[in-house]
Amino acid sequence: MINTDVVIVGAGPCGLFQVFELGLLGLRAEVVDSIRHPGGQCTELYPDKPIYDIPAVPVCTGQELTDLLLKQIEPFNAGMHLGEEVTVVQRQPDESFLVETSAGKQFNAKAVVIAAGVGSFQPRPLRADGVEEFEAGSVHYRVRDPQQFAGKRIAILGGGDSALDWVLELVNIAARVTLIHRRDEYRAMPVSIEKMRTLAAAGKMDVIESAKVTALSGEGGQLKALTVDSKDGSSQDVEAEQVLVFFGLAPKLGPIADWGLDINRKTINVDTEKFETSQPGIYAVGDINYYPGKKKLILCGFHEAALAAFAIKQRIEPDKKVHLQYTTTSPVMHERLGVTDEHAEEGDASS
């Protein structure tokens, strides 16, 4: 049993920043996420895609944002339990919570924060004859290393931002790129669509629209070709050694749906003072929550995490007033952050 102040469900940007806000108030957190690495959707869906709306950071990738947040929370030594799903959240007689994961790990926590983004999510799979034979080495639902496709004939399936982004990225790396989309209209950014069409018109890649992949074929587990059926009834074989599938995600609340919370479709209703759910002591921040005027922005999730931290501190220490202190001048904050006096004086001089 791990005793802690707070269990945070989700290791995306909002969950990581929640660690920071709690740490400033002297509260310890343990973070659980079903994904095997921190960063949530930022690293799972667009690790190399630029983000432009993080305050004071003109541009960063999803992976860079995650790395910066991990660096920021280092002083607080939060436990990270990755590749595990929270399966049980049970209120105890003393109003604490027993939290259990799919790995059998147990926590005793005074509060729980749900920062699970869109919930547990999995890429929508490619459904085609023979796909099982090639899933281990030739069918991909995300890109970790673009260079693994160098010199390969690849097919990219989908019509959203992820599909178009990787078309534009890999067209100069792969031997040949073929984009296959079920429709002739795209959900991607107009500038990406325009660039793709320009490349296709110049003969630098192939595009097959209003069609879907119905079968995969090859030898000895090595993919050789895709069977593509068009809406007009025609069929063709397309050479491909690797397939990248971007059909989007199927978000699921998973076990969260059974925790007795006030669910609003696939989000959780919260108040705007504490970002507390209908269950006292359980809070929700980031894309998973809902309230009037809600905007699904990382910036908004950071704000929610700050207010939730103050509410949790008050819940844990109801007889004490929670004072607002500033990291610029507070010796207590400096001690918690591990800031030296020299750095503190520099901060004071520049404020």
Q: What pLDDT score does 344 carry?
A: 47
5 Cβ contact partners less than 8 Å away, ≥ 6 residues apart: 22, 27, 28, 29, 109, 110, 111, 312, 316
- Does CATH number 3.50.50.60 belong to domain 125-247? yes
> b/e map of 320-330 (b: 16 or more CB within 10 Å)?
eeeeeeeeeeb
Task: Classify 125 as helix, strand or coil.
Answer: coil
What confidence tens digit (pLDDT) does each residue in 68-124 have?
A: 999 999 999 999 999 888 989 999 999 999 999 989 999 999 999 999 876 655 678
Q: What pLDDT score does 348 carry?
A: 41
Q: What pLDDT score does 289 carry?
A: 94
Q: What pLDDT score does 350 carry?
A: 33
Q: What pLDDT score does 310 carry?
A: 97
Q: What pLDDT score does 49 carry?
A: 79
Q: What pLDDT score does 58 carry?
A: 95
What confidence tens digit (pLDDT) does each residue in 206-229 have?
A: 999 999 999 999 988 899 999 999
Q: List, as own/partner pairs, every contact residues 158-161 make where C-beta atoms lie below 8 angstroms and the sequence separation is at least 24, other chains included.
A: 158/245, 158/246, 158/247, 158/248, 159/183, 159/185, 159/186, 159/187, 159/188, 160/186, 160/187, 160/188, 160/246, 160/248, 161/46, 161/49, 161/187, 161/188, 161/189, 161/192
Q: Which CATH superfamily is domain 2-121+250-320 in?
A: FAD/NAD(P)-binding domain (3.50.50.60)
Q: What pLDDT score does 39 carry?
A: 87
> b/e map of 266-297 (b: 16 or more CB within 10 Å)?
ebbebeeebbbbebebbbbbbbbbbeeebeee
Domain positions in the chain: 2-121+250-320, 125-247
Closest CA to 316 of 115, 114, 113, 109: 109
The percentage of residues in the chain with a pLDDT greater than 70, rounded to a whole number, is 93
Phi, psi of 300, rounded to the nearest 5 degrees: -65, -40
Q: What pTM was estimated for this model as a whole?
A: 0.67
List of the chain residues with pLDDT < 70 = 45-46, 118-122, 249-254, 341-351
